[in-house]
Amino acid sequence: MTWAWLGLALLLTGTTADTLWHQAYGFPSDEGIPYPHGISAAGLLLSLFACFRMASRSSGSRRGGWVAGCILLMIGLAGSLWDNLLYHTRGIYGAPIQEIPHTMEAAGGLGWLVLLIVITVLRVTGRSKHRGEDTVSSRRNEQMNRSSSPTAD
């Protein structure tokens, strides 16, 4: 979960820096992709990595939340790639459909924020299964405990 929160922090930092960047410098078409977009993209990728990792370690109903997070992050990443590779690298600003990738980025990022808060609250309050229960590592530990404990004859 730490990596997921770190990715979200990078994403929010990049988004805030991007807003400040465009307020300070406008939309320069000759500079390519502004550096805050790189911070946001790094946050998206780190969050996506963490989300895939948590989804692969979870099972049952807990996996569903992480899969939903992965889908939201992929929507945000698709919007980011569309915005950066098709608009910023070509110096296109003010295109009629330019709001579509920004909406995708916002929906993915805000959806991830809400979902991560919900997952964290459920884990902290114990509403979800016990922390660490029903994961690959917990099943492995349980098997090791069974094999190392003496059996009564």
Give phi and psi for 33, each to the nearest 5: -80, 120
**What pLDDT is recorded for position 62?**
77
Show the low-confidence residues of the chain (pLDDT under 70).
28-31, 89-96, 98, 127-142, 148-153
pTM for the predicted model, two decimal places: 0.70
**What pLDDT is recorded for position 140?**
67
Strand partners, 135: 58
Per-residue pLDDT of 75-85, as tens digits, reads 988 888 888 77
User: What residue spans define the domains of the chain?
Assistant: 2-17+34-129
